[in-house]
Amino acid sequence: MYEKLTFKQISTAMRAEIITIGDEILIGQIIDTNSAWLGSELSKIGVQVVQISSVSDQAEAIVSALDLAKTRAELVLITGGLGPTKDDITKHTLAKYFNSTLVTNEEVLARLRAWFEQRGRTMSLMNAQQADLPNNCEILRNELGTAQGMLWRDDRHWILSMPGVPYEMKFIVTHQLLPLLQKDLELPVIVHRTLMTCGMVESQIAATIEAVENEMPHYIKLAYLPRPGIVRLRLSGRGSDKAKLQLEMAGYEEKIKALLGHHVYGFDEESLEEAIGKQLKLKNATIGTAESCTGGTIASLLTRIPGASSYFLGSVVSYSNEVKTQLLSVDSREIEQYGAVSETIVKSMALGLKSLLQVDYAIAVSGIAGPDGGTATKPVGTVWISVSGPIEIITRTYNFGNDRSLNIERASMTALYLLWKMLVVN
């Protein structure tokens, strides 16, 4: 159950709910990116999103969602359903919900007329009807489109309806809503800090830093956000003194870093390939990849970082055994003896690439991504990875499972972790 707040308390503990309207979201035709952006922006000013809901273009669904949202949150943000066509019913539904009538707003109508004239277009009757707005709402202007923001507020709730077009919604929030919230309410401070980790799964990290996590006060939370090869550790603090909160969180961050060591590679959404690029530049070192089952994915990750040309020299996608022997100097007899997915061959691939490209570091990967090709001794998901550096070569075998796409992603991220470890430990 959510605690009911008085209006005086709202300023220090405002909760928000986001309602997205549209059948196109529910059937997967479009992805709701609005909610992610709204959650991020609201968090920056101390507003906590407690619920995100998606509903169909039906009056009953909108009313039901709004009724529920008001029991959970003081700020309700509605996006979508404000277009000029008949299937967009949000404005009419909300006018009825708030016991208001639609009246033509002459100021908005004039702005719409000018908007069309500036673009050399004639405003249709349908477009003109976008100026028909509930007579008891505050209008938050939209300078990038025809649908306006509509705000209702009392001593318990702020309810804002906005267009679902992302850039129009963002304009209204950035230039209208956020200034209003910050002007009228004394909001708390929320601070986020994210540690980026690799080479450990979520459960291993939790066990390693359990004592530190147990020390944290109730107003500082730690969230684990895993994805293949990476676990983000998000520290979130809530209070009234930003400097004091940041200092306290920095202390816990340092304790976590000390326990996890090289597994912490960066902060605040920095990618592993970006961190690797910085290390290669520091060492004035070069790298290349020899990839079989990953099909160039590792090379793609490394080269998407601006400035990668200063350290990345090239890649050989040695999908066939012929390419392994002809370009990477792998012995065909060893392929026949050990198989292409083996320690011997992946080592030879890494060393062959180093010789071919004259790089300081080489990553080689060979495996069975699936869904076919597995055997009793080498099932689908078996991957050998070799990383060769100036003074050592590391070779490991893994089994990542049965899903081809995940196998490729996991193999690529694991290879990058092995490279990262070699760069920072040695």
CATH of the domain at 294: 3.90.950.20
Verify that 251 and 307 share a domain, yes or no: no
Give pLDDT, residue 368: 96
Structure tokens at 106: 């002459």
Verify that 216 and 352 share a domain, yes or no: no
Q: What's the number of domains the chain is made of?
A: 3
- Where does a domain end: 159, 184, 209? 184
- 9: confidence class by pLDDT, cuts 50, 70, 90: very low
Verify that 99 and 128 share a domain, yes or no: yes
**Would residue 2 count as lying in a domain?**
no
- Where does a domain end: 120, 149, 184? 184
- Where does a domain end: 184, 199, 221? 184
Residue in the block written with tokens 């930003």 = 242
Verify that 124 and 214 share a domain, yes or no: no
Long-range contacts of 368-373 (CB under 8 A, 24+ apart): 368/293, 368/341, 369/293, 369/294, 369/404, 369/407, 369/408, 369/411, 370/402, 370/403, 370/404, 370/407, 371/402, 371/404
Residue 201: is its pLDDT beyond 50? Answer: yes
The per-residue pLDDT for range 157-188, each reduced to its tens digit, is: 999 999 999 999 999 999 999 999 988 888 88
Of 321, 378, 311, the residue nearest 352 (C-alpha): 321
Residue range(s) defining the domain that contains residue 262 = 189-267
HSE-CB at 126 with a 13 A cutoff on CA atoms is 7
Verify that 413 and 305 share a domain, yes or no: yes
The per-residue pLDDT for range 313-339, each reduced to its tens digit, is: 999 999 999 999 999 999 999 999 999
Residue 6: is its pLDDT beyond 50? Answer: no
Q: What is the mean pLDDT of residues 58-73?
A: 96
Q: What pTM does this model have? A: 0.78
DSSP at 112: H
Verify that 122 and 41 share a domain, yes or no: yes
Structure tokens at 421: 């470890």
The per-residue pLDDT for range 67-122, each reduced to its tens digit, is: 999 999 999 999 999 988 877 899 999 999 999 999 999 999 999 999 889 888 88
Verify that 87 and 213 share a domain, yes or no: no
**Would residue 108 count as lying in a domain?**
yes
Share of the chain above pLDDT 90, in %: 85
Verify that 246 and 374 share a domain, yes or no: no
**371 close to 405: Cβ distance less than 8 angstroms:** no
**Would residue 31 count as lying in a domain?**
yes
**Would residue 375 count as lying in a domain?**
yes
**Would residue 301 count as lying in a domain?**
yes
Q: Residue 248 is part of a domain; what is its CATH number? A: 3.30.70.2860
Question: Vertex 340, ends 335 and 346: CA angle to 5°?
Answer: 100
**Would residue 361 count as lying in a domain?**
yes
Verify that 43 and 166 share a domain, yes or no: yes
Give pLDDT, residue 4: 43
Give pLDDT, residue 102: 94
Verify that 175 and 200 share a domain, yes or no: no
Where is average pLDDT lowest: 46-55, 124-133, 185-194, 357-366? Answer: 185-194
Verify that 74 and 162 share a domain, yes or no: yes
**394 close to 386: Cβ distance less than 8 angstroms:** yes
Burial of 260 (0-12, 13-18, 19+ CB in 10 A): buried
Give pLDDT, residue 85: 83
DSSP at 232: E
Q: Which residues of 155-177 are buried (b: 16+ CB within 10 A; e: fewer)?
A: eebbbbbbbbbeebbbbbbeebb
**Would residue 1 count as lying in a domain?**
no
**Would residue 96 count as lying in a domain?**
yes
**210 close to 388: Cβ distance less than 8 angstroms:** no
Residue 5: is its pLDDT beyond 50? Answer: no
Q: Residue 37 is part of a domain; what is its CATH number? A: 3.40.980.10
Verify that 222 and 350 share a domain, yes or no: no
Strand order in the sheet with 393-399: 312-317, 287-291, 361-367, 382-388, 393-399
Structure tokens at 246: 């940041």
